[in-house]
Amino acid sequence: MRKQITSLLLTLAMLLSLVPTLGVTASAAETWVTVNSFDDLKTAVKNKQEYIKLGQDIDTTSYNDGTGLLKRDELTFNDVYYYCTLDLNGKTLALVGNDTNISPGIYIGGYSHLTIQDNSPEKTGKISGAFSNVFGGQSAKLIRVNGGTLTLEGGTFTV
């Protein structure tokens, strides 16, 4: 009887020691930030949000008074161990640049990791790119990976 009580108390003590761990795990749930404009998306990336979801189609054609993306507008994932998941959510992210000072629409470097997915039922999410006025042997790149990693779990790319 004494051994059973001791065994029961030890089991109870072990279970109670797990309670704080379970509480931390529950509070670390994914928190998605929904973006509805390119400015919202740039801010979310700049603030190193881990989970970003498109709330509507985003087209940068009229960005910068019709010039489209400039070098300064590049979505840069370039911080040590910045992990981000971008859910296209069935929407289109159109990265357009009409200036000679072009850059990749998305840059991944510095051990950062970007996962692109499409969790919509339709699976119609895509990232498209259109870059004009490229000169001097330069080439336009929709996404440039240099030291980071990119995982495509859903969605499509078109250039």
Tracing tokens 């289109």 back to the chain, one arrives at 92
Q: Is the pLDDT assigned to residue 122 strictly greater than 70? A: yes
pLDDT for the residue numbered 102: 61
pLDDT for the residue numbered 133: 58
| Residue 10 CB contacts under 8 Å (≥ 6 apart), including other chains | none
pLDDT for the residue numbered 27: 44
**pTM for this model (two decimals):** 0.76
60-83 pLDDT, tens digit each: 988 888 888 887 888 999 988 899
132-150 pLDDT, tens digit each: 755 555 566 788 899 999 9
